[in-house]
């Protein structure tokens, strides 16, 4: 599922393949 980039959420980096926090 895709989350809107409004709040900091856990997303998976396709380049690394690991989950990391992406504050927007």
pLDDT for residue 21: 59
pLDDT at 20: 63
Residue 10's pLDDT is what?
60
- Classified as helix, coil or strand, 15 is coil
Q: Are 23 and 14 in contact (CB under 8 A)?
A: no
21: helix, strand or coil? strand
- pLDDT tens digits for 1-24? 566 666 556 666 666 656 565 655
Burial of 11 (0-12, 13-18, 19+ CB in 10 A): middle
């Amino acid at each position: 599922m895709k989350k809107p980039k409004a709040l900091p959420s856990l997303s998976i980096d396709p380049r690394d393949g690991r989950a990391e926090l992406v504050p927007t």
